[in-house]
Amino acid sequence: MAVNGTNITIPKTQRAGVLTAYGQPYTIKDDHPVTQPSELAPGECLVKLEYSGVCHSDLHIYKGDWKTKSKLPLVGGHEGIGRVVAIGEHTGGDHVKIGDRVGLKWIADVCGRCEMCRRGFESCKSPFCLHYCAD
């Protein structure tokens, strides 16, 4: 599917290392579904990762030993750099555009839109979980 008049094509599936059960080996799947632009909520964007890291947090996610559990199945690696390939309809503002290079930071409870978030602080009054609870 070409997105917003661009030459970006978003596949229906991708190859991915997927955690399907805590403490079990990751499974390599050639047909893991890719979120489609029509599935994005306002304020969400789809990023095609170019580089992703795996860190100690991923070990906790794998073990399932944190109080807040991630959704399963889950593709490993929650820190990365990539390009925005789709933006949810009715998303306000112009701070992110198709083609922008973005970094996905560590797990955070932030909204990403308020003054505190925009200034780089994590003392947000309307937080929601990023990168750990979303695939």
pTM of the model: 0.74
Count up the domains in the chain and report the number. Answer: 1
60 falls within a domain: yes
pLDDT digits (tens, 9 = 90+) for 20-78: 999 999 999 999 999 999 999 888 889 999 998 888 888 888 999 987 778 899 888 87
Instruction: Please determine, for residue 135, whether its predicted confidence score (pLDDT) is greater than 60.
Output: no
Look up the CATH number of the domain holding residue 90: 3.90.180.10
Instruction: Please determine, for residue 115, whether its predicted confidence score (pLDDT) is greater than 70.
Output: yes
DSSP element (H, E) containing 56: helix 56-63
Give the HSE-up count for residue 54: Cα atoms under 13 Å, Cβ half-sphere: 8
Strand pairing of 74-75 and 79-87?
Answer: unpaired
Per-residue pLDDT, 33: 94
Q: Which domain holds residue 32?
A: 13-105
